[in-house]
Amino acid sequence: MIPVLSWREVVREAAPLHYLRKPSGVGGARACVGEGGPGERQEAWLKSALRLWYCTERGAEPCGTCGPCRAIASDVFPGIVWVRSSGGKEIGIDEVRKMREFLSWKGIPGEKRVVGVAGAERLSGEAAQALLKVLEEPPAETWFFLLTPSPFSLPATIRSRCLSLSFSARPGWWRMAEEKLSPEASAERLWGLTAPSEGGSPAEREWWKRL
């Protein structure tokens, strides 16, 4: 089982977190291809970040101790299903059928459901075709995350129905700020930093001058 990351590690991945932090106004289903970085790192990041949606504390970052946070870390949260290969083998049609069975159940109205496909580049031809049919007519309030270090290994028909999320490190200015902040500085403070070239609040501009 892939362990979760600390929230400080999660905020170091710039683009994906920004997308997940602003899901309001995005209706229906969404399919996202995660690219860049080792596959296990992508899966650990997604598991960790999804706690933000389901944490009962509803804070700036997930508490990590409530029932949903612990269930997500243990891969037993009922609103999330993972499709994985076994022992490095290809992902076969049976795994996709189990995912479709999960989607056939009626979820809680307004509650997001998530399908994570880890190692999506290992989808067999038959499995990829079955997944494509789901993406063509996806259930409402469902998010699909296809995690792969090589998105172009996926069929073009699948990629065309997905958004691209790049798992890349924060830019140099952000890493410099992280080094200057104390270890006790909140991850939320780090996540919200604005680049010095982008302005920010008067207090933040003054803070940059002191670095």
- Report the alpha-carbon distance of residue 12 to residue 48 in Å, rounded: 12
Residues 6+ apart with CB under 8 A from 12: 169, 170, 178
- How distant, in Å, are the alpha carbons of 92, 98, 124, 134, 205 from that of 104? 19, 10, 22, 11, 51
pLDDT in tens, 113-148: 899 998 899 999 999 999 999 999 888 888 898 888
pLDDT in tens, 35-82: 666 678 888 888 888 888 889 987 778 899 999 999 999 999 999 999
pLDDT bucket at 169, cuts 50 / 70 / 90: low
Both tokens assigned to 196 = 């010095």
Worst-scoring range by mean pLDDT, 90-94, 141-145, 198-202?
198-202
Q: In the prediction, which pLDDT does 62 show?
A: 87
- Closest to 10 measured CA to CA, from 38, 55, 41, 37: 41
Beta strands in the chain (DSSP E): 30-35, 80-83, 113-118, 142-147, 163-166
Residue 13: pLDDT over 70: no
Structure-model confidence comparison of residues 99 and 185, the more confident one: 99
Structure-model confidence comparison of residues 33 and 54, the more confident one: 54
Angle among Cα 27, 71, 46 to the nearest 5 degrees reads: 50
- Report the alpha-carbon distance of residue 62 to residue 118 in Å, rounded: 22
Torsion of CA 169, 115, 93, 34, to 10 degrees: -20
Q: In the prediction, which pLDDT does 58 show?
A: 79
pLDDT bucket at 95, cuts 50 / 70 / 90: very high
Burial class (CB in 10 A: 0-12, 13-18, 19+), 15: middle
Query: For the residues 164-186, what does the mean pLDDT come to?
Result: 58
- Report the alpha-carbon distance of residue 2 to residue 168 in Å, rounded: 20
- Report the alpha-carbon distance of residue 123 to residue 153 in Å, rounded: 10
Q: In the prediction, which pLDDT does 14 show?
A: 52
Beta bridge partners of 123: 91
Say what the pTM is: 0.75
Query: For the residues 186-202, what does the mean pLDDT come to?
Result: 50
Most confident among 30-34, 70-74, 104-108 (mean pLDDT): 70-74
Query: For the residues 79-108, what does the mean pLDDT come to?
Result: 87
How high does pLDDT run on average in the chain?
A: 75
- Closest to 79 measured CA to CA, from 87, 71, 70: 71
Query: For the residues 182-207, what does the mean pLDDT come to?
Result: 50
